[in-house]
Structure 1
């Protein structure tokens, strides 16, 4: 509403002030005019009365006084009453004569009303009196003395000395009807002038208030735009007064606010970018234990942990949060949740001296803990694998030194055992070096384009004699057309040789080993399947781990390093491929490999740094 606005309030204030001023001026002016007219009338009557008294004093001849008084009264719209003393010293009215005077149209005041007036009684004591008031009047020339109406008159009583200290009186009075008429016209003029003044003041007030409040409205609109986020809003500066100063201050404030908001926005975006790029989960919690801010990893963690209210802190973190809020210090712990191990560091957030919440950083330590365990197992396995050949080397060499072998055949057997164990340790060391180089990304590949079918046939010919010797059927099969493949032939031979060696080792006579090739999915699939003893199902997830041996009862003649399948997996993945295994005990085992035709990881002939899905695995080789 306009009355609630600055324009309405300013307009109402100006109009109210103008009305108050007009009322005060009108009252003062009317009082002044009333007093002025009253004094003028009273002065005229006093002057007239003084003239009549002077006539009486200077010319005691009654006829002369009557003639002069008559002339004077006829010249003025006035009634004259002459009061003397009778023999009983009671006042009485004496008319100049019985003829109508010029003042006959002036209503007459009864003598009793005049004589009852206290002030007029003072005239007979020799005092000049001026009286203004309402008196009962009768019609002009009336004799009844009955009051027909009341009207305000002004009367002047002038004492007339009669001698011996007694006084008569000349009382001249006239009505203030003309004054009232004049005052009525003046009041009407004042009302007209006040109306015109109010109208003009209204236009002026609206003009002034609009001119004053227009910059304020512009500032309000600019503030509204800023509240909606438009911090570049500015107010035009049109004056150099206080409003202009306010506009300049507002613009400076808007500029500083704009710069501050942009700085805060940049910091917020930077913080959000940092939080998004963090691999660790970050959770901010208020003092009530409700999640306030999270980053994407933390959101995934919360979705996996939460069961009820999505904004509440998950149960695994609630106890730690209560401890942090109670002890007001940073705490760290490991939480096993859903089969994984999480390292949680939680610290309180302060608002001056008050703790307003906490921030927690969560890191999935499952892989690190597993790798740490595998590293320990790796060291133990390497120590175990080296301990046996070293013990045998030590034992047989001591026997030879002590000349325990009695015959050349026994010495030759001891030398053969020492030689085989030395070769076994050499293979173990070489396999470890190969794995280390592949994991470090320094393993060199010499990629060449080969015909997979011809290359496989050539490799299988190397195993044909072994197959005949063990009574095992060795077969190669190509499904459809097989296109060329770009790989490192030596490493591919190392892969297949390892798999075929395992197949021959665990396939009994009369069994079958089959190498099958097919071309689909943008690469070549190679399967190596046997009808051997198979691998127990519980061992399949660990088959590619280092030093893992599915057959715990293998003989020394069948023993391997336990690194063969780990190397196979690393070499396949270094070519950008993949390998899987399926097996049933008593039915056989199938290894399936995929080699893509394009390997984005191969740059300038160097294999990318790859890790098996289980870094420290054990294979049955």
Structure 2
């Protein structure tokens, strides 16, 4: 069928084909069967008539004056047939159709291979049907033994087949008339059924389109037992389910919008191409320049931060196997700081690419700056009076003979605490300088062993007073790293002082290193009471002390580990603490620094030979 035909036209044509083949096929088959029976009956009739004529002529008496040919002529006229009599050489002797003298001799009737042979006693009759002009004739032929007045020969009887097939044609005409009428009725019925089905389908299409356009209240009317009742019921059920799910999605969307708009943090949603798809109210409050018309732009077009755009590009870069979560800190405006969490969504999330959450750190940074400035100013102001207290105490202690013993003891306590306060002030000022980033590290290739030597010179006296052995497991040629020499030396000093302070007298402190990829990891291990697991995350906070085992130990400022952590963080390394080992109860402090390709020129003094492993 042509592709341009509608469904109703195709269905109508299909019905017509079915009706035509259902009626015309059996009719033609029936006509063919009846025609075969008529032909067989015509041949049987011709055979019986010829046999009857054969007997009639055979019974003519020799004394009778009857003429055999006249008898044949009378019988042919009565039966309405043609009789031809030929001698054994197939020469025509008599023909009822016309006189022999006026007729051109015709070829003899020769039976085909499909001819039917019928036995009547000693007489065998051969019958067949053959064409003659526009009509067909039935031929019956048999041999005649001859009588006294008629020599032996071949008798042939022919009769027109139309005389016998006329009733068949009438039956066929009636049958085809009935078929034509049935086709007309079938056409009308097919049209009615097709129109009904087409209207039902159109109604279904209209309802489905209405549901797709948002008119979810549209439903199909159906009655049980109709052609499309089950389909209409299924479409209505589908529409109900769609409405229910859509209502649930709308409710979830409203809830999500309420949650997002109730957040203090700004939320920005990016699509698969890394462009802004949605924002919440907090983002509008944080960045007033962002409006609804900013949708579809890159983050850098609305937030002036190259670092933010670089993080987004890294998140979307599939070639380098990017992480699913990134955290960066940006300063899009002066004194405005934000901690941004970037989360890459799964590929299955339709239309979405990533979510950015902005945490405003501006107030926190402002307060932190105020705190640092306050500590730095107070520490600076304390240096002068502390210097005076120390000077007066040392002067008074120099005149020990003039003071009673209890006065001397008081002066020693004053000097000890003044020294402790002075060291604390120096550590506070050092930490303030590091946090304010005024002392930028001078990164260069240095020998870590030489930095360790400088730190050891300041800790040797403390180790000697407690009889602490220090084992150095570093190669003699040194360990090349990329760092600031003075700051690395300060890290070593703080960690060694901490290890000596909390190790019992007569124990051992071990300093070692190992290299992982392009990073050197140094390890300072003591023999002290160790650090509980719950305190390891906070041990690097300023003034933090472990309650268990360490409250009895004094002399420290509580700032050494905090200073070490700030220095290592600024070098891009990492510092952490872990248990010393299975056979040791102490703690091991580790920190990492980037390795260097070669050692620089010698700098600083070597370690005391007695401490080298």
Q: Return the offset for 1:54.
A: 1.5
Tell me the number of residue pairs that the alignment of Structure 1 and Structure 2 aligns.
366
Q: Distance in 2 between matches of 1:26 and 1:250?
A: 44
How do residues 426-575 of structure 1 correspond to structure 2 at under 5 angstroms?
Answer: none
Alignment pair present for 1:74 and 2:65: no
Tell me if the contact between 1:316 and 1:337 (Cα under 8 Å) persists in the aligned partners. Answer: no
Alignment pair present for 1:114 and 2:114: no
Alignment pair present for 1:155 and 2:139: yes
2:214 aligned counterpart, secondary structure: coil
Pair 377,167 (structure 1): closer, same or farther in 2 beyond 3 Å = farther
Tell me if the contact between 2:324 and 2:345 (Cα under 8 Å) persists in the aligned partners. Answer: no
1:358 aligned counterpart, secondary structure: strand
Q: Return the offset for 1:287.
A: 3.9
Q: Distance in 2 between matches of 1:302 and 1:115?
A: 117
Pair 316,127 (structure 1): closer, same or farther in 2 beyond 3 Å = farther
Tell me if the contact between 2:265 and 2:282 (Cα under 8 Å) persists in the aligned partners. Answer: yes
Tell me if the contact between 2:19 and 2:186 (Cα under 8 Å) persists in the aligned partners. Answer: yes
Q: Distance in 1 between matches of 2:383 and 2:289?
A: 49
Q: Distance in 2 between matches of 1:128 and 1:23?
A: 38
Tell me the equivalent position of 2:342.
346
Tell me the equivalent position of 1:279.
264
Q: Distance in 2 between matches of 1:38 and 1:282?
A: 97
1:236 aligned counterpart, secondary structure: coil
The farther-off stretch of 37-46 and 108-117 is: 108-117
Tell me if the contact between 1:55 and 1:65 (Cα under 8 Å) persists in the aligned partners. Answer: no
Pair 73,259 (structure 1): closer, same or farther in 2 beyond 3 Å = same
Q: Return the offset for 1:289.
A: 1.8
Compare CA radii of gyration and give the structure with the larger one. 1
Q: Distance in 2 between matches of 1:305 and 1:388?
A: 56
Q: Return the offset for 1:31.
A: 1.5
Pair 301,68 (structure 1): closer, same or farther in 2 beyond 3 Å = farther
Q: Return the offset for 1:324.
A: 3.4
Tell me the equivalent position of 2:90.
91
Per-residue CA deviations over 1:466-485 (Å, capped at 9, x if unaligned) read: xxxxxxxxxxxxxxxxxxxx
Q: Return the offset for 1:265.
A: 1.3
Tell me the equivalent position of 2:299.
313
Per-residue CA deviations over 1:232-277 (Å, capped at 9, x if unaligned) read: 3222221336632222222222211211111111111221232233
- The unaligned stretches of length 5 or more in structure 2 are 301-305, 386-613
Q: Distance in 1 between matches of 2:296 and 2:244?
A: 36
Pair 354,266 (structure 1): closer, same or farther in 2 beyond 3 Å = closer
Per-residue CA deviations over 1:141-174 (Å, capped at 9, x if unaligned) read: xxxxxxxx554222111332349xx963221112
Tell me the equivalent position of 1:130.
127
Per-residue CA deviations over 1:319-343 (Å, capped at 9, x if unaligned) read: 1123334432322121111323222
Q: Return the offset for 1:349.
A: 0.7
Tell me if the contact between 2:116 and 2:127 (Cα under 8 Å) persists in the aligned partners. Answer: no
Q: Distance in 2 between matches of 1:368 and 1:73?
A: 136
Q: Distance in 2 between matches of 1:273 and 1:181?
A: 94
Q: Distance in 2 between matches of 1:229 and 1:354?
A: 21
Tell me if the contact between 1:3 and 1:9 (Cα under 8 Å) persists in the aligned partners. Answer: no
Q: Return the offset for 1:214.
A: 4.1
Tell me the equivalent position of 2:21.
20
Q: Distance in 2 between matches of 1:353 and 1:109?
A: 103
Tell me if the contact between 1:161 and 1:167 (Cα under 8 Å) persists in the aligned partners. Answer: yes
1:239 aligned counterpart, secondary structure: coil
Give me the CA root mean square deviation. Answer: 4.5
- The unaligned stretches of length 5 or more in structure 1 are 136-148, 390-621
Q: Return the offset for 1:290.
A: 2.3
Q: Return the offset for 1:26.
A: 3.3
Q: Return the offset for 1:81.
A: 0.8
TM-score (norm 1): 0.50
Tell me the equivalent position of 2:153.
168
How do residues 142-541 of structure 1 correspond to structure 2 at under 5 angstroms?
Answer: 149=133, 151-162=135-146, 168-178=153-163, 185=170, 188-240=173-225, 243-298=228-283, 301=287, 303=289, 310-314=296-300, 315-325=306-316, 326-339=321-334, 340-351=336-347, 357-374=353-370, 376-377=372-373
Tell me the equivalent position of 1:35.
36
